[in-house]
Structure 1
Amino acid sequence: MLREIRIRGLGVIDDATVPLGPGLNVLTGETGAGKTMVVSALGLLLGERADSGRVRAQAGSASVEGFVDVAADHPAARRAAEAGGDVDEGLILARTVAEAGRSRAYVGGRSAPVSVLADLGHLLVAVHGQSDQWRLQRPEQHRVVLDAFGGEAVAAPRERYADLLQQWQAARRELADLVTEQRNRAQRLAMLTAALEEIEKVDPQPGEDDRLREEAERLGHVDTLQEAARSALVAMSGDEDQVDPQQTSVVELVAGARAALGPVTDLDPALGQLSARLTELGILVNELSGDLASYLAGLDSDPARLAEINDRRARITGLLRTYGDSIDEVLTWSRSAAAESADLAGTDDRIEQLQARVEELAPQVGQAAADLTAARTAAAQELGRRVTEELAHLAMGSAQVSVDVRQHEGEEGLTLPDGRVVTAHGHGVDDVEILLAAGPGVTPRTVAKAASGGELSRVMLALEVVTASGDVPTFVFDEVDAGVGGAAALDVGARLHALAQHAQVVVVTHLAQVAAYADQHLVVRKQDDGQVTASGVVVVDGSDREAELARMLGGQSDSKTARQHARELVAATAQQPATPRKGRRRRASAS
């Protein structure tokens, strides 16, 4: 809960500390003393838009600091920790607004975006003023209020609906994508199929292009190769036709060298080793001559084979122009294309599966939506009844609150079990609206338009009392009692006191009947030194509180009659239970 707020340089407030306790905290004071400025300061602390025009004249800047006692596992503490703030010993929030308009925010001792304060504000405090009934002015919040009131009876069918809707929508999206791209896929599959048939018809083998190139080179220059091989063979082993009797072959030269060394090899071992090497050389020369002869014998001109090779190379070249720079790349592309073709060929099966899945899920989603609508309708009837009963105790006895749960029908959407086609959202198919009829025979209208500012605050109070669950630890009401008085004002105070049994409540009021219920009474006091007017905040108790209530009742704090009236009022409220029985109006000794 909020423990303390310190305000400096804001409007009429120069420097004031507002201590807050558990239960019902009431702020009172004379008109113009700065009660509403306390609420404005709290708004700044919770991330509302800063207004530099509210900076106190000549102050230069305004600042608001707040200390929040919050458990370490509360969502607000976790959000503050995410922003880098220290929450070990409570949460300190701060906001400064310069006269020039610049605003800064601090969370847990660390600078943070103002949006973090706003996030924390939604988790910590619900502010209800005559111009700030956001929960009733935003239509989507009507559904949030109803669902929260419905509890598990609404939450369970809502979760089932949301899960089924997600599955149904996912299947529909995938099906729509597949159907939309069906022509493109067919064209792609036809292209891949033709390409694979072309490659399969050629049937290239790994490394074949290199082998064919080598064979084509050999067959294309067979005459030149034959001449060179023949000349080399003649030089190695001689010419059988003895065209040039003077030419000496390598075989003859090596043999002559061996013959020259043969007789003297025994005379010198070194020369014997050289002679052995000549013998080895003779053997190699003979082998090389034989290889040249074999090569020459197999080197035949084959124009048919050359034409066949050139044709094969042309077909392979056609593949290389389209599918890769080498046969290996062509084969890699072919394997990838075959896999893609298999996927594309299986798309029709997937479409059939999705169509069956969509048809299977549609009635399930429709039934889940109908179940959620039924749960909301039941909760709506109970919520309307209970809020109407509460309003009877808040000077709105003739008002009737109802909660309208309806669906938006159209030509496309989700089909319900009754055959209606409605628009489906993540939260359901229902549009929820809280309606107010100010009196008998009056057509119910949305509560945001049918109620005045003060009535709107009281409707909000009634909703908070009925739906109070402890999720929001602090509620702030700014003049929720506007337009009421007497016994009706006592009922407003009783309802605020009832709400304070579950949460911390801060109320700005001008009615003593409401202030009499306070667990802690704070007075905003105005001081005037002749030149500067400043406001401060003090906690009053005992005779000081009695004097303040007397001032609120009769305008004079020192009037004996007013003080007696104040004492009776406090005694009367102290004797009454926090939550009166339904259907009965309270009676008080003071009006």
Structure 2
Amino acid sequence: MLTELGIRDLGVIEDARLELAPGLTAVTGETGAGKTMIVTGLGLLLGQRADAGLIRRGQTSARVEGHFTELGRHSRKQARELGAELDEAEGAEGDAEILVSRTIRKGRSRSHLGGAAVPTGVAAEFTSDLLTIHGQSEQVRLGRPERQREILDRSGGEPLAEALAEYRELWETRRRIAEELADVTENAAERARELDMLKFGLDEIEAVAPQPGEDAELLAEATRLQDVDALRLACSTALVALSGDADDIDGACALTAAATAQKALSEAADPELAAMATRAGEISALAADLASDLASYNDSLAADPARLDAIMARQADLNALTRKYGNTIDEVLTWAETSAARAAQLDAGSDRVDELRARLLELDEQLRESGARLSDLRRGAAQKLSDAVTTELEALALPHARLFFALDRLPQPGPHGLDQITLMFTANPGSEPRPLAKAASGGELSRVRLALEVVLAGDEEGGTFVFDEVDAGIGGAVAIEVGRRLARLAEHSQVIVVTHLAQVAAFADTHHVVVKSSDGAVTTSGVTAVADDDRAAELARMMAGMEDSETALAHARELLSQART
């Protein structure tokens, strides 16, 4: 339930705050006073487009905030997941309260949910579970087939919603399968060309049979064979330094020097030098090992022109692959693995076509069965809704009106079922029913819309319903019936009606008046709650334009008395 609505610097409203109660609340006021801004403010909380032109002249921003109470379990959970702060009595179910706000500035807007900044769409999704606006735009939408289908499906409740969800899932699956089949069959030539190219590359790689890392290994071996003379010279020089020259018996070398150092240190009678002698021995051993390894390496160095030629030829074959399929042989092998999988997929195309066609036949049968169940539920809901709306229309001075849903089978299953749904209407006996948009006058269409909204809203007990100028095009006794029906709806839900008819406003439990004032330069509107004599004066103004007329006041008091009975 919406307990408080605050509006600041929106349109002509400078700063207004409405304290809203359960039941039916009427909002009235002279034309141009700013009643529309009340509905506009609520629409902003529901995520409607924020136009910078709505900001009050001379101000840089506008703000709307709504205080909601009696949140359901789903709303409380959703708010907590968004990081919003809830004001709730400990252990009490349904007592949670939350503040939702939206601020608009030129070029942007911001929304807050319980003090937490959230995207406007997220805030709108949250408030849409708590608040519903029935405005004049609905009258235009009501003539559209898709809106008529939505109304019918909404009236069917949870069973119809579940059947529709099942059908929609099947239809989406069939659409995806059909698109894949079309892609497989319509692009057969392109897929064949792709397969030929992949097979050519795979055959070329298979003929060479490269091994992982082979290109790097061959490069290292070729470098050694090409530089064998330089490697031998380096190895010989190092060996002479370590072991000495065989032709120079007295020449100095590392091994001899290390051995001499060890001997001299070990003969000294000093523990510290003895430790150093050990280290000299380690140097001697390391030098001996290095000399041995160098000798083995030197023995392995041999010129092998035949092997070098073979390596060069192998490198040429590998380079032919790396020019086409990757920078290295490892990348070439990765390409081959991926391409083999793709080739297998393309090669199995004919099998896939048969599989997809079989799946489509299966889905077609499932769609027909699911669609038939959906149509049956819609026909039941259509009859129930038509009967309820017809009853309402009788009370709204359309005693001979007939309104029903025509369900015509579509040539092919559609995304929403097997039927084309059309809302048919006739206001007079003997007249052939026609589509609502063509058959109903403006006043009749307004009453049909009201009857539908009252019936549908009555099925959604709880929450807040806002009716904006729902009484357009009607008056007199019909207006009294409109007020009576809104009051009946308000027995189970909070209802706010913006109206220009005293007959409707008289049925309200609480009454707010939007009052306009001007200092000659700036026009400002505010909202005032009225009761007793002030309320009678407002009703008199609405009926006769004369709030001080005793006759008008008497009529207003009579209207209030009649509404209470």
- Secondary structure at the aligned position of 1:573 is classed as helix
2:178 to 157, 172, 181: 172
1:393 aligns with 2:395: yes
Rounded to whole Å, the distance in 1 between the matches of 2:526 and 2:20 is 15
Tell me by how many angstroms 1:80 deviates. 9.3
Cα 1:183/1:25, change in 2 over 3 Å: same
Rounded to whole Å, the distance in 2 between the matches of 1:14 and 1:325 is 71
- Structure showing greater Rg: 1
Cα 1:369/1:529, change in 2 over 3 Å: same
Structure 2 residue aligned with 1:358: 360
Q: Deviations over 1:215-259 (max 9, x none)?
A: 9x99xxxxxxxxxxxxxxxxxxxxxxxxxxxxxxx9xxxxxxxxx
Rounded to whole Å, the distance in 2 between the matches of 1:327 and 1:159 is 52
Rounded to whole Å, the distance in 2 between the matches of 1:532 and 1:330 is 78
1:321 aligns with 2:320: yes
Rounded to whole Å, the distance in 2 between the matches of 1:52 and 1:436 is 41
Structure 2 residue aligned with 1:539: 529
Tell me by how many angstroms 1:492 deviates. 0.8
Tell me by how many angstroms 1:149 deviates. 0.5
Rounded to whole Å, the distance in 1 between the matches of 2:213 and 2:63 is 81
Q: Deviations over 1:248-293 (max 9, x none)?
A: xx9xxxxxxxxxxxxxxxxxxxxxxxxxxxxxxxxxxxxx9xxx9x
Q: Give the structure-2-normalised TM-score.
A: 0.68
Cα 1:362/1:52, change in 2 over 3 Å: closer
Contact map agreement 1:81 1:87 (CA 8 A) in 2: no
Cα 1:395/1:361, change in 2 over 3 Å: same
Matches within 5 A, 1:132-147: 133=139, 135-136=141-142, 139-147=145-153
Structure 1 portions without partners, runs of 5+: 219-249, 251-287, 293-298, 300-305, 410-421, 576-591
Matches within 5 A, 1:445-484: 446-447=435-436, 451=440, 454-468=443-457, 469-470=459-460, 473-484=463-474
Contact map agreement 1:71 1:77 (CA 8 A) in 2: no
Contact map agreement 2:469 2:500 (CA 8 A) in 1: yes
Structure 2 residue aligned with 1:384: 386
Contact map agreement 2:446 2:473 (CA 8 A) in 1: no
Matches within 5 A, 1:405-420: 405-406=407-408, 408-409=410-411
Contact map agreement 2:208 2:317 (CA 8 A) in 1: no
Rounded to whole Å, the distance in 1 between the matches of 2:469 and 2:78 is 32
Cα 1:38/1:175, change in 2 over 3 Å: closer
Cα 1:152/1:128, change in 2 over 3 Å: closer
Cα 1:192/1:102, change in 2 over 3 Å: closer
Q: Which amino acid aligns with 1:174?
A: E
Structure 2 residue aligned with 1:498: 488
Cα 1:397/1:191, change in 2 over 3 Å: same
Tell me by how many angstroms 1:494 deviates. 1.5
Structure 1 residue aligned with 2:16: 16
Structure 2 residue aligned with 1:92: 99
2:563 to 561, 567, 573: 573
Rounded to whole Å, the distance in 2 between the matches of 1:167 and 1:75 is 32
Q: Which amino acid aligns with 1:68?
A: F
Q: Deviations over 1:478-536 (max 9, x none)?
A: 23223333332221112111222332111122333322321212233455778876544
Tell me by how many angstroms 1:359 deviates. 2.2
Cα 1:57/1:321, change in 2 over 3 Å: closer
Q: Give the structure-1-normalised TM-score.
A: 0.66
Structure 1 residue aligned with 2:167: 161
Structure 2 residue aligned with 1:69: 69
Cα 1:478/1:451, change in 2 over 3 Å: farther
Rounded to whole Å, the distance in 2 between the matches of 1:105 and 1:329 is 51
Q: Which amino acid aligns with 1:5?
A: L
Tell me by how many angstroms 1:151 deviates. 1.9
Rounded to whole Å, the distance in 2 between the matches of 1:330 and 1:39 is 67
Matches within 5 A, 1:10-49: 10-49=10-49
Tell me by how many angstroms 1:195 deviates. 5.8
Contact map agreement 2:27 2:511 (CA 8 A) in 1: yes
Contact map agreement 1:492 1:514 (CA 8 A) in 2: yes
Cα 1:482/1:109, change in 2 over 3 Å: same
Q: Which moved more, 1:443-452 or 1:396-405?
A: 443-452
Q: Deviations over 1:179-209 (max 9, x none)?
A: 3444444445445556666666677889999
Contact map agreement 1:5 1:65 (CA 8 A) in 2: yes
1:149 to 135, 155, 158: 155
Contact map agreement 1:395 1:484 (CA 8 A) in 2: no
Q: Which amino acid aligns with 1:321?
A: A
Structure 2 residue aligned with 1:524: 514
Structure 2 residue aligned with 1:432: 421
- Secondary structure at the aligned position of 2:508 is classed as coil
Rounded to whole Å, the distance in 1 between the matches of 2:403 and 2:388 is 9
Rounded to whole Å, the distance in 2 between the matches of 1:79 and 1:129 is 27
Rounded to whole Å, the distance in 2 between the matches of 1:529 and 1:340 is 79
- Secondary structure at the aligned position of 1:154 is classed as helix
Rounded to whole Å, the distance in 1 between the matches of 2:536 and 2:214 is 109
Contact map agreement 2:142 2:449 (CA 8 A) in 1: yes
Matches within 5 A, 1:237-248: none
Contact map agreement 2:26 2:508 (CA 8 A) in 1: yes
Cα 1:317/1:431, change in 2 over 3 Å: same
Rounded to whole Å, the distance in 2 between the matches of 1:328 and 1:73 is 58
Rounded to whole Å, the distance in 2 between the matches of 1:7 and 1:115 is 20
Cα 1:310/1:457, change in 2 over 3 Å: same
Q: Deviations over 1:462-489 (max 9, x none)?
A: 1122222337722222232233333322
Structure 2 residue aligned with 1:2: 2
Contact map agreement 1:129 1:457 (CA 8 A) in 2: no
Q: Which moved more, 1:314-323 or 1:141-150?
A: 314-323
Q: Deviations over 1:115-141 (max 9, x none)?
A: 556545544433233355465265433
Structure 2 residue aligned with 1:244: none
Structure 2 portions without partners, runs of 5+: 89-96, 226-245, 247-294
- Secondary structure at the aligned position of 1:507 is classed as strand
- Secondary structure at the aligned position of 1:71 is classed as coil
Rounded to whole Å, the distance in 1 between the matches of 2:176 and 2:406 is 31
Rounded to whole Å, the distance in 2 between the matches of 1:97 and 1:340 is 53
Structure 1 residue aligned with 2:370: 368
Contact map agreement 1:127 1:477 (CA 8 A) in 2: yes
Cα 1:472/1:179, change in 2 over 3 Å: farther
Q: Which amino acid aligns with 1:355?
A: R
Structure 1 residue aligned with 2:238: none
Structure 1 residue aligned with 2:258: none
Rounded to whole Å, the distance in 2 between the matches of 1:345 and 1:433 is 49
Cα 1:321/1:30, change in 2 over 3 Å: closer
Q: Which amino acid aligns with 2:468?
A: D
Rounded to whole Å, the distance in 2 between the matches of 1:354 and 1:24 is 58
- Secondary structure at the aligned position of 1:522 is classed as strand
1:125 aligns with 2:122: no
- Secondary structure at the aligned position of 1:524 is classed as strand
Structure 1 residue aligned with 2:274: none
